Structure 1
Amino acid sequence: MSDAQTPTPPPVPEQPAADAAAQAQAAPATTPTGGQAGVDDTGVPRLLGEFDEIGKGFLSALFDITFTQFITRRLASVFYLVGLVAIGIGFIATFFSGIISGIGSLSWNVGGGIALIISTLIVVPVLAFLAIVVLRFVIEAGVALVAIAENTERTAQNTQRATTPPR
């Protein structure tokens, strides 16, 4: 093969990632947003600043008709707590209703009453557990989707900044 067809190797980093991480932790630099930039153990810069402002401007984000600000992360724990309370209330109501119905059925159908009590003791807790798992999956999916959107927006802004020629 000629030299023109030989691929060039990728550039070697100036320093190992562990050294970059130690150096960044020793003297953290500031980002344009005012937060501190760090470097994780892979050597990739990590931006801080926006996460510090999660509780600020909630009402302005709530009434943002352009949907440029997300409130899903701020409300995820509230939705999870409300969902857990609702599942708990449903569990208690269904559990005691099943037990009381089973006891009431014992007077006219002993086998049916015992079956209802045993099935209530097994099925209701399993369904409550599955409801909690599904609730957690749904909320995590929503939060992950918002995180992807925020990271995509940040990447687009950084790409725009990098491709825009200086004046």
Structure 2
Amino acid sequence: MTDANTPTPPPLPDRPAAEAARAGATPAGGEDTVGIAGVDDTGVPRLVGDLDDIGRGFLAALFDLTFTRFITRRLASVFYLVGLVAIGISFVAAFVGGIVSGIGALWWNPGGGIALIVSTIIVVPVLAFLAVVVLRFVIEAGVALVAIAENTERTAANTRR
């Protein structure tokens, strides 16, 4: 006796996974599948196209004058690394410059020199941290915008049938 609250099991596929893998990308109904390169031994279709081409054809995408392929996701980590290096160099330069200026100011204005050293020790690391946070936000926003555009393009392509 089954209880009304007992969930029913999901339906079984039309054919076993091994048979689907041997048959290729054509499903049991015989209809053509667009964007499916084949079926692995689990019976799950593999996608090809934009998702499969990540990391390939970078120069072709770079010089694509129609802007149909995006390179933002591929370059986001490079931009982040370059930004972190620039922030690091700026941090060291500002920190050392502030300390040296503070020490120099101690000779003619001891109170101002101490204030400059203390403010350098407090302000420069806080500004460097905020710069890293802003850099990360900007790069994530760019990547998210490109992801939205790619997903919208895929959705539009799948609804044109």
What TM-score results when the alignment is normalised by the length of structure 1? 0.71
Q: How far apart, CA to CA, are the structure 2 residues paired with 1:117 and 1:102?
A: 5
Secondary structure of the residue aligned to 1:89 is helix
1:60-93 deviation line (CA, Å, top 9, x unaligned): 1011101000000010000000000000000000
Q: Deviations over 1:79-137 (max 9, x none)?
A: 00000000000000000000000011111111000000000000000000000000000
Residues 60, 88 of structure 1: CA spacing in aligned structure 2 closer, same or farther, 3 A cutoff? Answer: same
Query: Are the counterparts in 1 of residues 36 and 46 from structure 2 also a CA contact under 8 Å?
Result: no
Does residue 78 in structure 1 map to residue 78 in structure 2? yes
Q: Which amino acid in 2 is paired with 1:62?
A: L
Q: Distance in 2 between matches of 1:47 and 1:99?
A: 59
For the 8 Å contact 1:36–1:48, the answer to whether it is kept is no
What runs of 5+ residues in structure 2 fail to find an aligned partner? 1-7, 26-32
The one-letter code of the counterpart of 1:63 is: F
Question: 2: CA distance between counterparts of 1:35 and 1:149?
Answer: 26
Q: Where do 1:56-95 residues align within 5 Å?
A: 56-95=56-95
| Structure 1 residues 149 and 116, CA gap change in structure 2 (3 angstroms) | same
Q: Residues 47, 84 of structure 1: CA spacing in aligned structure 2 closer, same or farther, 3 A cutoff?
A: farther
The answer for the alignment partner of 2:54 in structure 1 is: 54
| TM-score of the superposed pair, with normalisation by structure 2 | 0.73
Question: What are the ranges of 5 or more consecutive residues in structure 1 without an aligned counterpart?
Answer: 1-14, 38-45, 162-167
Deviation at 1:36, TM superposition (A): 6.7
Query: What letter corresponds to residue 141 of structure 1 in structure 2?
Result: A
Count the aligned residue pairs.
134
**Greater helix share, structure number:** 1
Q: Identity over the aligned pairs, expressed in percent?
A: 73
Indicate the residue corresponding to 2:117 in structure 1.
117
Alpha-carbon separation, structure 1, partners of 2:38 and 2:135: 34
